[in-house]
Structure 1
Amino acid sequence: MEQLFKVMFLLVLFSIGNAEAKDCVEWSKTFKGPCSSVQKCRDACISEGFTDGYCAFLRRYRRCSCSKPCLFNNYLP
């Protein structure tokens, strides 16, 4: 019985470890104006603690959006 418990416990641990991380996404707080340079957007996002940045459309113009891996996904409004 104890052996079965150990095997089940290990299976649960392995299944949790294989869970794919989603990306948390937020608008940049430091990038100002419309996003025309992806590199400047990415640099602003990295300075805010994110791993990547890209220009995303918000209504009529492009805005700097930052992303980083996380367990729960935050979607942009």
Structure 2
Amino acid sequence: MIPVEARTCESPSTKFQGVCLNAKNCAGVCTGEGFTGGQCSSLKCYCTKTC
């Protein structure tokens, strides 16, 4: 069998407010939303999780 990497799904944060400049702040908010992490992209916070 060939090992398969898990895909990462991304969704805009519903609770992050303002401009996203710090990925740690974004990830913290996303964790509170039930995701495993988050990142800034185009000044917006996107939450990530394995799908």
Structure 2 spans left out of the alignment, 5+ residues: none
- The structure in which a higher percent of residues are helix is 1
Query: Partner of 1:30 in structure 2?
Result: 15
Q: Percentage identity across aligned positions?
A: 37
What is the aligned-residue RMSD (CA, Å)? 1.3
Residue 26 of structure 2 is aligned to residue 64 of structure 1: no
Bigger radius of gyration, 1 or 2?
1
SS of the residue corresponding to residue 21 of structure 1 reads: coil
Q: Measure, in 2, the Cα distance between the counterparts of 1:65 and 1:47.
A: 13
2:39 corresponding residue in structure 1:
54
Distance 2:38 2:5 in 1: 20
Size of the alignment, in residue pairs? 51
Residues in 1 aligned to 2:22 and 2:38: alpha-carbon distance in whole angstroms: 10
Regions of 4+ moved over 2 Å: none
- Unaligned 5+ runs, structure 1: 1-13, 71-77
Q: CA deviation at 1:33?
A: 1.3
TM-score, with structure 1 as normaliser:
0.59
